[in-house]
């Protein structure tokens, strides 16, 4: 489920934290895949597996490494560390 080389954002409708992160990423050139956990049972199961059994979103994977409810700063730090080739402008 988690893209081993890219960025995947697991979200669900009506989640204010998802809206906040997606808005903050709107003005970056970061390419990422969005997965609605309400439409993808496998994605929901993955999120539960990395969030102590909860469907906590946004959950983001960077090169296969999961982060539960990261800030934009935390997300970009993970990209810099694990997948710098994905940074905008590179």
Can you tell me whether residue 68 is helix, strand or coil?
A: strand
In a domain, residue 55? The reply is yes
Per the structure, how many domains does the chain have? 1
> Mind listing the pLDDT tens digit for each residue in 31-89?
999 999 999 999 999 999 999 999 999 999 999 999 999 999 999 999 999 999 988 77
Q: Residue 90: what pLDDT?
A: 65
Between 4 and 57, where is the model more confident? 57
CATH number at residue 57: 3.40.30.10
To the nearest 10°, the Cα dihedral for 87, 45, 50, 61? Answer: 0
Query: Which range of residues forms the domain containing residue 12?
Result: 7-84
Which one-letter DSSP state was computed for residue 28?
S
Residue at 54 is within a domain: yes
């Amino acid at each position: 489920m988690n893209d081993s080389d890219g960025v995947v954002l697991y979200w669900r409708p009506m989640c204010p934290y998802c809206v906040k992160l997606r808005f903050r990423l709107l003005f970056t050139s970061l390419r990422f895949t969005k997965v609605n956990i309400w439409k993808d049972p496998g994605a929901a199961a993955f999120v539960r597996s990395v969030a102590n059994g909860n469907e906590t979103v946004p959950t983001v994977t960077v090169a296969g490494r999961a982060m539960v409810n990261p800030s934009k700063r935390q997300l970009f730090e993970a990209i810099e560390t694990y997948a710098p080739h994905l940074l905008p402008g590179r």
